[in-house]
A = this chain, B = another copy of it.
Amino acid sequence: MPYVPTGKLTDLPHGHPCETCPVRPITICRGLDAATLAGMRSLGTMQRLRSEQSAFHEGDPAKRVFMVTQGALKLYTLLADGRRQITGFMFPGDFLGVSVDEEYAFTVEALKNTELWWFSREAFDRFVGEHPQIERELYRLAAHELAEAQRQMVLLGRKAAAERLASFFLSLLERTERVSGERETSFDLPMTRIDIADYLGLTKETVSRMLAHLRSRGLIRLQSQSCVEVLDRDALRGMAQGETAEVLG
C-alpha cells in the first residue's frame, strides 16, 4: 500500500522522529528513515546561522540542498519595491531540496540561531541515485508540499484577516502536537509580527489587531508575546475554515 502523507507523524512510513512543519514551500521534511538521514548527513557539512543570517539569497546559484537540525528559518521573496512575501517557515527535520532551477527563487534566513547541514547538489544527486527508494519518497513529499501550497493560496486569495491568523495558529498548534506527539493547548511564535504579516499577506498592524480580536472573543490567550494559548479550539477551527459569517462582531 502506498504511503500517503496525512500530516500525522504516526502515519509516517518509517517512524523517523524528525518533526514536521505545517508551512513549508519547497521544503521536504519527513518520511526518510534514520539510516538514510545518517547517510545524507555523512555527505554534508554542518553550518550554524545566527539569528537574521541567511543560508542563501534569492538569485544565488542553487548549488546546495539543506536539512535543518536546530532552530527556525523563513523563506521569502521580494518584489522590486521591497514588498515581501514569506512563502514558508522551516523547522528541525525539514529538508530543502530545490532541484528545480539554476538559481534559488527565494531567500532563506534564520529566525533565531540555527543549525543546518548542506550538501552539494551533485553529492545529493549521487546519493539519491544510489538510494532509489528515496526518489518516490521525494515525489510524495513534494506532492504533499503542493497540497500545503494550495491551502496557502486559498488563505491568501479568499480568507479575511482574522481567518488567516486563525488558520496560521491552528497550523502551528497542530505542528506542535505532531512534534510532541501529544495534545497541546499552546504553541510558540518564533517569528515577529512582521514575519507573520508577510506570511499571511497582511501588515503588522492588522496582525496585531486580529490578535486582539481573537483574544477578545476568547479564542486565544497570550501567555507571552511569543506564546499563544488556545482557549477554544473548535471556534478557532471554525474561524479558520471561514464558517464565521460575521468575522468581526
Contact = CB atoms under 8 A, between A and B. Distances in A.
B147 A100 contact: yes
A84 B152 CA distance: 13
Contacts of A194: none
A158 B4 contact: no
Q: Report how many copies the assembly holds.
A: 2
Given A143-B99, A147-B101, A157 B200 contact: yes
A13 interface: no
Q: How large is the interface on A (under 10, 10 to 19, 20 to 34, 35 or more residues)?
A: 35 or more
Interface stretch (A33-41, A111-119, A220-228, A239-247): A239-247
Interface stretch (A14-22, A73-81, A179-187, A205-213): A73-81
A159 to B, nearest CB: 7
A79 B152 contact: no
9 contacts: A25-B146, A81-B245, A87-B153, A97-B143, A100-B144, A105-B147, A142-B143, A145-B146, A156-B157
Nearest to A121: B2
Interface stretch (A49-57, A130-138, A168-176): A130-138
A136 to B, nearest CB: 5
B150 A106 contact: yes
A100 to B, nearest CB: 4
Interface string A182-219: 00000000000000001111000000000000000000
A135 B25 CA distance: 20
A209 B25 CA distance: 32
A154 interface: yes
Contacts of A144: 100
B142 A153 contact: no
Nearest to A145: B146
Contact of A153 (B79, B85, B147): B85
A156 B241 contact: no
A5 B214 CA distance: 43
Contacts of A143: 26, 97-100, 142
A102 interface: yes
Interface in A52-105: 77, 79-81, 83-85, 87, 97-102, 105
- Looking at A5, A87, A198, the one whose CB has the most chain B CB atoms below 10 A away is A87
B153 A146 contact: no
- Looking at A121, A135, A159, the one whose CB has the most chain B CB atoms below 10 A away is A135
Nearest to A143: B100
